[in-house]
């Protein structure tokens, strides 16, 4: 069972990159994009979160779109990554790799032996001990 992302700020920070990545694999429409993100572990993400990102990326020229007739209702707007979007994705992935390595380094490191012990020169309420 997939869990909802607990910290929306974490998701907000990477959603642009994730949308570009999924759309670089294959053009799709908004609702299907949400379904694909959910299948990949981002349970709890909504169209209300994704559509503003799609609109912003399209305004910035990182996505293109086209209307495709649908037998199940109105035409669907399919999005795909432009050349500029591909370059932005590559840059975002590189930045993510650097950040992930730094975070892993911090989370995986142990403090030196005795590093958490108070020193003889520590202060408490402005007085030295």
Query: Is 127 a domain residue?
Result: no
Which structural domain range is residue 42 located in? 8-107
CA angle 7, 86, 53 (to 5 degrees): 40
Residue 59 in any domain: the answer is: yes
Residue 113 belongs to a domain: no
What is the number of structural domains in the chain?
A: 1
CA–CA gap between residue 84 and residue 89 (Å, rounded): 9
Inside any domain, residue 128: no
Average pLDDT of adjacent 10-residue blocks, the chain of 129 residues: 62 91 97 95 88 97 96 94 98 92 84 52 50
44 in a domain, yes or no?
Answer: yes
CATH (domain of 39): 1.10.10.10
Asked if the structure places residue 118 within a domain, the reply is no
Task: Give the pLDDT confidence score for residue 129 in this predicted structure.
Answer: 47
The answer to whether 65 and 80 are in contact (CB under 8 A) is yes
118-119-123 Cα angle (round to 5): 80
């Amino acid at each position: 069972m997939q869990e909802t992302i607990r910290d929306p700020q974490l998701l907000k920070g990477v959603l642009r990159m994730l949308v570009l990545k999924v759309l670089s694999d294959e053009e799709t429409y908004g609702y299907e994009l949400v379904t694909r993100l959910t299948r990949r572990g981002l349970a709890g993400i909504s169209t209300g979160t994704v559509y503003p990102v799609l609109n912003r990326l399209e305004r910035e020229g990182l996505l293109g779109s086209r209307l495709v007739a649908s037998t199940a209702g109105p035409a669907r707007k399919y999005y795909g990554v432009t050349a500029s979007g591909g370059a932005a994705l590559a840059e975002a992935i590189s930045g993510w790799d650097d950040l992930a390595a730094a975070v892993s380094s911090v989370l995986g490191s142990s403090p030196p032996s005795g590093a958490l012990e108070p020193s003889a020169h520590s202060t408490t309420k402005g007085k030295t001990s």
